[in-house]
Amino acid sequence: MTTNNSISKINEILSGGSRDPFAILGMHKQKQATDVVVSVKVYQPYADKAFIIDLEDFTVHEMNQIHEDGMFEIIFPRKSEIFDYKVKLQSGDTEFEYYDPYSFLPQISDYDRHLFFEGSNFKSYEKLGAHLQTVNGVDGVSFILWAPYARAVSVVGDFNHWQKGVHQMRNLGESGLWEIFVPGVAEGATYKYILKTSDNRFVMKADPYGFAMQEAPETSSVVANLAKHEWNDQDWMASRPEINSSKEAMSIYEVHLGSWLRNDGNTMLDYRSLAHHLVDYCKQMGYTHLELLPIAEHPFYGSWGYQVIGYYSVTARYGTPEDFMYFVDHCHQNGIAVILDWVPAHFPKDEHGLSKFDGTCLYEHEDPRQGEQLDWGTLVYNYGRPEVKSFLISNLVYFIDKFHIDGFRMDAVASMLYLNYSRPDGYWIPNKFGGHENLEAIQFIRDCNDVIHDNYKGVITIAEESTSWPMVSRPTHLGGLGFDYKWNMGWMNDMLDFMKLDPIHRGFHMSKLTFGIYYAFNENFVLVLSHDEVVHGKYSLLNKMSGNLTQKFANLRVFYGYMMAHPGKKLIFMGGDFGQQIEWNHDQGLDWHLLNYPSHKELHDYFKDLNMMYQKSPSMHKIDFESDGFEWIDFSDSEKCIVSFMRKTDDPRESLLFYFNFTPVTRYDYRIGLPWNCEYQEVMNSNSKFYGGDNDGNSGQIEAEEVWAQSQAYSAQVTLPGLSMIVLKPLDAPQPDFTYDGDKMLRVFTMPKNIKMPVPKPKEKLKKAKSSKKVSSSKKGTKKS
């Protein structure tokens, strides 16, 4: 008997707008007079006929078409219990059999739904999205979507002719989740969701949790198998938790995969080709880490990946998820860590994306004063919503679990921290205390870092944070944001401003060169020369330097030397290490042909040697974030624009002394301070002919004199080439006579017995000593400084 209520529900099915299609479709027991019978309803708008195959005896029973739009029904009067069956369809000469999706129970537990609802399920990708599964011996795909304000949801794809009502999903109550298991759907199937909004509109969306997407400009999600790759990085993964990255060399090579190297015809390389080319290059150059500009799927290539649609889909421009796993695996097998740029600060307004996902502002704030990022024309996440927090934090865990990623650089952190970030007065909403701090975002950031550090030791997080927000790289239990490292944007801006100056003016701006040390140990800094500095009319790094072309190369060499010697980890964007002439262009590969020119090849060799020295010299990286690892020798000679300092560890024999001349004038017989009375080896000179210099230097070795200079007990007269760095290493420095506990940040120092602190002499006596020393040195026939 058909009631008005059942007719209404059937009409909802026919329109693709049913909230509970399982109540109508599939097999049900129902009362008929005094008996219980079994009935089956099927909705297939493209079928001419439909049949039920009884899997108990394999009899075939034709169904009645009860509506011309494709609703079929059959009643089994002699059956009173549910039985196993398949549906058989006829359309013209084509026949097709399948297991009925409406015969399967939900594939997500009440507990998982609860965790997602409260925002504490940080592996929500294990349930949400499209998962290849075998249920009751039947292969298919489980689709689960969060859309709490939708009136109805259908999954559509190439497996159902993109017909919105064929696979309508069931609503799972207050969790806001919709679910269906579709038998027969296989890897590679394309799909989207059609949602009926509260105002009865239908919108088509890609899967927020989709593991793959079509290559742009196509926008559908793709069913992917993430279990196919066989990992071979077991040694790397086993050792990663034991490494304290703060005490290790970290030379990061920042790369945009689509424009690092191109094939003939300007076509992009795929993940597998890039793996071999990039790893070989990193090993050749001495890079320890690769940092990739965002590789999550983004429809607009010109966004460089910073306007993400598919957070769980690696971009199809370069291959499949399995291909990217191969990329990471190959990096790990060759000792290269992989860091991803991650973009939780905003997302684009594309119709198939997260914007007004179920007809409401689900992922973003409804009020544009909170929900819109004016600078970029994008939308801002509602970090206070538990399901949004689960979506984003689960994304981090997903890349660690499924792709073995070693770290994340969180983009645009400043825009998240401040409610008034880049907003005019009156166009932002204060927090509950009346301040401009985004309290929900702050807690979200701390939760991100806690989840990673509590569960994945050895995985690092880096903040791109451009303000003076305190304790960015301090633990959350101490009140910090919990990052391991913070980009040092202040150092970068000051240094680039300084290097642009004509050397004749640099002496008046020495604070730009030296100020960074005064806050260098407030955070765990990464010194960066990133992609943002070589685009939008800012010029390449080479062309930021002052002077003619020869001086530009010399300036760049001394600048790179200062960066590598300065406390902090290091990052450089691709192309900078060989002197890319033009700005970065994402539509073409780097100008690798420049390496055929001596100046570029010599700069390239110099940067490689810098990296090698950095890696092999504990003093350059072991104590990066405490003042114990750094000591000024002199920063007062602004007239000659010369500065010098020492990098050190608990062992004086590991110390390196750095001297920088930031003018083109070579200083002969320049007296430099030295800490120990021993011989020093000139281990690097950026003015070497091998690096494109004129080879002025100190013949490799320097002997200290007992002459007080630059607050040091000893000194020597040396040649400091113009626009150059020289690096000295003590050859027989005293052995350490102190203990150092780096984890507890304690130092107990005892002066070595063979070092005597000299008593400063009166000026006239000091002059005589200097004069005497010069004569005696000359008589001995020592090397000319």
What is the distance between the alpha carbons of residues 168 and 180, in angstroms, rounded to a whole number? 8
- The rounded distance, in Å, linking the Cα atoms of 619 and 238 is 27
b/e per residue 318-341 (b: at least 16 CB within 10 A) = bbbbbbbbbbbbbbbbbebbbbbb
What is the SS3 assignment for 569-617?
A: EEEEECCHHHCCCCCCCCCCCCCHHHHHCHHHHHHHHHHHHHHHHHHHC
Evaluate whether 183 touches 397 at the Cβ level (below 8 Å). Answer: no
Catalytic residue from among 329, 440, 464, 465: 464
464: annotated active-site residue: yes
Q: What is the Cα–Cα distance from 478 to 449, expressed in whole angstroms?
A: 13
> Could you tell me which of 520, 512, 635 has the C-alpha nearest to residue 569?
520
* Cα 268 from Cα 274, distance rounded (Å): 9
- The amino acid present at 645, given as its one-letter code, is F
Residue with tokens 């990193």: 282
Maximal C-alpha separation, the chain: 125
* 3-state DSSP assignment of residue 764: helix
Cβ pair 54, 83 in contact under 8 A: yes
Q: At what angle do helices 598-616 and 549-565 cross, to 10 degrees?
A: 10
Q: Which of the 8 DSSP states describes residue 328?
A: H
Q: Which of 411, 494, 523, 705 is catalytic?
A: 411
Token output for 626: 């405490």
Long-range contacts of 234-238 (CB under 8 A, 24+ apart): 236/332, 236/333, 236/335, 236/404, 237/332, 237/404
Residue 671 belongs to what H/E stretch? Answer: strand 667-674
Give the CA radius of gyration of the chain.
33
Distance CA 513, CA 379 (A): 38
CB 316 within 8 A of CB 170: no
Report the distance separating Cα 419 and Cα 431, nearest Å: 8
* Residue labelled with tokens 């965002």: 294
Residue with tokens 């004749």: 504
> What is the C-alpha to C-alpha distance for residues 339 and 178, in angstroms, rounded to an integer?
34
Q: Contact 675/632 with Cβ under 8 angstroms?
A: no
Helix H, strand E, coil C: the string for 44-55 is CCCCCEEEEEEC
Whether omega for the bond prior to residue 430 falls within 30 degrees of 0, making it cis, is: no
What tokens appear for 776 in the block? Answer: 């005696």
Q: What are phi and psi of 569, to 5 degrees?
A: -75, 170
For residue 685, list its beta bridge partners: 726
425 has catalytic annotation: no
Whether the Cβ atoms of residue 192 and residue 296 lie closer than 8 Å to each other: no
H-helix segments, 286-337: 321-333
Neighbours of 538 (CB within 10 A): 14
Structure tokens at 35: 């008996």
Give the alpha-carbon dihedral of 685, 686, 687, 693, to 10 degrees: 140
Phi, psi for residue 189 in degrees, rounded to 5: -65, 140
The 3-class secondary structure across 260-273, one letter per residue, is HCECCCCCECCHHH
Where are the strands (E) in 493-580, listed by range? 525-529, 569-573
Separation between Cα atoms, residue 19 and residue 14, nearest integer Å: 12
Tokens of 778: 């000359």
* Catalytic residue list: 411, 464
